[in-house]
Amino acid sequence: MGSLQNASAIALGSNLGDSLATVEAALETLAQTPGITLKARSSWYKTKAVGPPQPDYLNGCAILQVEIKPHLLLEALLQIEQKFGRVRQERWGARSLDLDLLLYDDLILDTPNLQIPHPRMRERAFVLVPLAEIAPEWVEPVSGCAIKELVKQVDCSNVYLLS
Residues involved in catalysis:
86, 95, 98, 100
∠ CA 101-3-62, rounded to 5°: 30
Helix (H, G, I), strand (E, B) or coil at 145: strand
Strands 139-140 and 45-47: unpaired
Helix (H, G, I), strand (E, B) or coil at 100: strand
Q: Is 146 exposed, middle or buried (0-12, 13-18, 19+ CB in 10 A)?
A: middle
Bridge partners for 61 per DSSP: 11
